[in-house]
A and B are shown apart, each in its own frame.
Chain A
């Protein structure tokens, strides 16, 4: 009876909450020191960074404001649906919505793929 080779541990599996590519890994830090697009002069960099932060903050605040509101989603293939917006996931890949009005009826709970959404509009 042969002895099986011992193993230190099993390979780590995917993290259910994120798509990975840890920004704190040595490889990431060495190869991507900055994720902002290249600009030659420093002051333009800062200004651009400030504007980006502002836009990001506005986007996140819009998402917060959208919570529990009736939102109309315009999607590909001329799809327009209305639903009550619940939440977004961390990478903004999916929107959790309730009472989604579809041609097939009202779906109590659903996930919308953000990749398929072109725009969304709502009354604040």
Chain B
């Protein structure tokens, strides 16, 4: 786990409560009469399950259709959200605090991404452009004109190239060092491209389109190396470089493939139509959300449904784990982003683990206890 401290000491990673079991909170039993929290003390935990408190990030006025996290930087990690209101927003990843809004697009923003260092952002919009932004100042750096709605944008690991895909069915690779140069084009899909991602060390490209196929392309030969066909349109795609896993959703199914060979690893069926899924960095769980407004959490190994959470007031369009796996963010038709804890009850970001004795003491005044009913 990464330890980070902000310059003015505004937030620090709380290391005291690190060893709490997932999904429950440890209360001291008779064993530890003096109640001292110590890493070395043997303890017999009594778990008291806590209820998940999602953090709602407001600000967007229309459905949130895409979201992406950056890597972990010296300033923490960041989150960008794409919205039909045309104003993508940058937020601090662990708290959901708004940092800024990228202003300039003249239509719905369908895709948004950040580079690893969170210094650049890219957005894909219905105004037929993809834009590259300085993610520190919020300034627009580049506008890349396309011939139709752009749906997806993705940086290479070195942030030097941008991959775009959209309704004109062509994948384009832009050299950000030579923005006036014509992009490399890869054609082949017979319908609008929904998502295009770099994979295999940025040597190959994975694209999902409305033609119900996912294709793996070689960047140099521009040829399709492999094609996967489905009965239904693929709703989302996530690529996990560490482990080379591809997460795909279509209909009610969440499917996992090996990214190199496109061999199927496993599939899991959810109770409702799923629009997006994300695999935890440590591959112990995955989360999925879709038409029934709920977020589902599954054990990746056993494929068992562990939890489901209500909270959104509309279908969930996108869900992603943070780079440290401590939380996941969901974007919905209801115009909000919500942050959910992976280990419910753990102290992290704005969530504070509270022992029962503290709840009734003076300390509790500083804490915000959410009401039993969550209203819009």
Contacts and interface: CB of A to CB of B under 8 A. Distances in A.
Interface of A: 2-15, 19-23, 25-28, 30-32, 35, 91, 93, 115
19 contacts: A2-B50, A4-B53, A4-B370, A6-B351, A6-B352, A6-B367, A7-B350, A7-B351, A7-B369, A8-B368, A10-B55, A10-B350, A11-B96, A12-B98, A20-B98, A20-B100, A21-B136, A25-B99, A31-B119
B324 to A, nearest CB: 18
Contacts of B100: 19-22
A9 B368 contact: yes
A12 B37 CA distance: 32
Contacts of A8: 350-352, 366-368
Contacts of B136: 21, 27-28, 31-32
A4 to B, nearest CB: 4
Interface stretch (B101-109, B249-257, B272-280): B101-109
A7 B103 contact: no
Contacts of B351: 5-8
Contacts of B97: 11-12
Interface residues of B, number: 50
Given A4-B50, A21-B138, A11 B339 contact: yes
B137 A32 contact: yes
Nearest to A25: B99
Nearest to B371: A4
Contact of A19 (B7, B96, B103, B354): B103
B225 interface: no
The DSSP consensus for interface residues of chain A is: loop
Contact of B58 (A4, A13, A26): A13
B51 A2 contact: yes
Contacts of B51: 2-5
Given A21-B99, A21-B136, A7 B48 contact: no
Contacts of B368: 6-10
A107 B188 CA distance: 49
Contacts of A19: 100-103, 138
Contacts of B354: 6
Interface of B: 6-8, 48-53, 55-59, 75, 89-91, 95-104, 106, 119, 136-138, 339, 341, 344-345, 350-354, 359, 364, 366-370, 372
Given A5-B351, A27-B75, A35-B137, A10 B369 contact: no
B48 A115 contact: no
A123 B364 CA distance: 64
A12 B95 CA distance: 8
Nearest to A20: B100
B138 A26 contact: no
A13 B57 contact: yes
Contacts of A13: 57-59, 98
A6 B345 CA distance: 8
Given A6-B53, A21-B99, 13 more contacts: A3-B50, A5-B52, A5-B344, A6-B353, A7-B369, A10-B350, A12-B98, A13-B98, A25-B99, A26-B7, A26-B8, A27-B75, A32-B136
A7 B137 contact: no
A108 to B, nearest CB: 25
A26 B55 contact: no
Contacts of B352: 5-8
B370 A3 contact: no
Contacts of B6: 26
A27 B97 CA distance: 15
Nearest to B60: A14
Among all A-B residue pairs, the 6 with the closest Cβ atoms: A20-B100, A11-B96, A21-B138, A21-B100, A2-B51, A26-B7
Nearest to B78: A27
A4 B369 contact: yes
A31 B57 CA distance: 26
Contact of A11 (B91, B137, B344, B353): B91
A23 B103 CA distance: 17
